[in-house]
């Protein structure tokens, strides 16, 4: 990769996985366009070596177009896109407002399409890479997190289709599947816990939410581990199609092959355990 082809766009780079990825890539051979929304986050990103901040809200077509024009005007080309921006909506599906589901998909799925569709011609010209930030929730759907799981399952399907299309054009597409990662996203879940819900699942939903937040804060692995996987997906001559970033990789592999009824039984057992906590 020469200087014209090692620029990478990272969306959602203000905190957590996105910020760690921007920093790690910039420290390991890449120049980074770091997308964020808030002025203070853009200023912080601008202080990093080899990082150029871009105002980029993946829900706004105007932001995506302006960011594309800025990159095109700079004349750097673009080797890679790291579609990291995402949000979490949760709750029993019978309680989730339609507006929440729409926003969940608009950020996590349609946002990916807005960015990818706009910047892909530059990546194709560089015969570069597209990296999708999925989740363990993209192949293992958990109760109470239906909106988020559904969006990540959609990301996996989008990425698989894109990879098979891009093979023809010499562009590689990789999916990153993080498990519990220690990021500020867990603290944002407090607002979801505080929301009033009225279904029979409300007591269990509160306990599952609390269990997830506590587990993420106490047992989450550092986001730099995800950044390392992203770097491999961008830099390796033979990147993997999927990267699981978690301590319990074997458990995840089993979940992909066990009969659905068996997995449902295991989930029900875990729910009963949480209910008693």
Q: What percent of the chain has pLDDT over 90?
A: 77
Query: 170 vs 47, 77, 90, CA distance in Å?
Result: 34, 16, 38
Q: Tens digit of pLDDT for each residue in 134-168?
A: 999 999 999 999 999 999 999 999 999 999 999 99
pTM strictly above 0.85: yes
List domains and CATH numbers for the chain. 3-275 (3.40.50.720)
> Are residues 217 and 186 in contact, defined by beta-carbon separation less than 8 angstroms?
yes
> Are residues 271 and 203 in contact, defined by beta-carbon separation less than 8 angstroms?
no
Q: Which of 45, 37, 50, 23 is nearest to 222 (CA)?
A: 23
Q: Phi and psi dihedrals of 169, rounded to 5?
A: -105, 5
- Surface-to-core class of residue 55, CB atoms within 10 Å of its CB (0-12 exposed, 13-18 middle, 19+ buried): middle
Would you put residue 50 in left (φ > 0), alpha (ψ -120 to 50) or beta? left
Both structure tokens of 222: 């550092």
Least confident of 35-39, 163-167, 186-190, 196-200: 186-190
Q: Phi and psi dihedrals of 9, rounded to 5?
A: -95, 125
Query: Which residue of the set 33, 148, 158, 243 is catalytic?
Result: 148
Q: Tens digit of pLDDT for each residue in 30-58?
A: 999 999 999 999 999 999 999 999 999 99
Question: Is the pLDDT assigned to residue 223 strictly greater than 70?
Answer: yes
- Edge-first strand order for the sheet with 172-178 is 51-55, 31-36, 7-10, 80-83, 129-133, 172-178, 242-245
| 252 counts as catalytic | no
Question: Is the pLDDT assigned to residue 232 strictly greater than 60?
Answer: yes
Q: Tens digit of pLDDT for each residue in 5-23?
A: 599 999 999 999 999 999 9
């Amino acid at each position: 990769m020469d200087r014209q082809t090692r620029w990478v766009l990272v969306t959602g780079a203000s905190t957590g996985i996105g910020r760690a990825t921007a920093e790690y890539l910039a420290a390991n051979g890449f120049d980074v366009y770091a997308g964020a929304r808030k002025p203070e986050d853009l200023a912080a990103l601008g202080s990093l070596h080899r990082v150029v901040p871009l105002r980029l809200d993946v829900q706004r077509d105007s932001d995506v177009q302006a960011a594309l024009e800025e990159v095109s005007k700079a004349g750097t080309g673009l080797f890679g896109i790291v579609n990291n921006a995402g949000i979490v909506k949760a709750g029993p599906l019978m309680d989730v407002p339609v507006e929440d589901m729409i926003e969940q998909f608009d950020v996590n799925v349609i946002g990916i399409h807005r960015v990818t569709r706009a910047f892909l011609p530059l990546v194709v010209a560089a015969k570069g890479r597209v990296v999708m930030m999925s989740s363990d929730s993209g192949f293992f759907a958990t109760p109470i997190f239906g909106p988020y799981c559904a969006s990540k399952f959609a990301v996996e399907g989008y990425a698989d289709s894109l990879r098979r299309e891009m093979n023809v054009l010499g562009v590689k597409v990789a999916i990153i599947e993080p498990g519990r990662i220690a990021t500020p996203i867990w603290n944002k879940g407090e607002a979801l816990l505080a929301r009033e819900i009225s279904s029979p699942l409300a007591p269990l939903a509160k306990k599952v939410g609390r269990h997830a937040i506590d587990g993420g804060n106490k047992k989450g692995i550092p986001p730099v581990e995800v950044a390392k996987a992203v770097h491999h997906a961008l830099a390796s001559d033979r990147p993997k199609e999927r990267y699981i970033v978690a301590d319990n990789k074997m458990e995840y592999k089993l979940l992909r092959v066990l009969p659905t009824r068996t997995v449902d039984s295991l989930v029900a057992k875990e729910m009963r355990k949480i209910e008693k906590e």
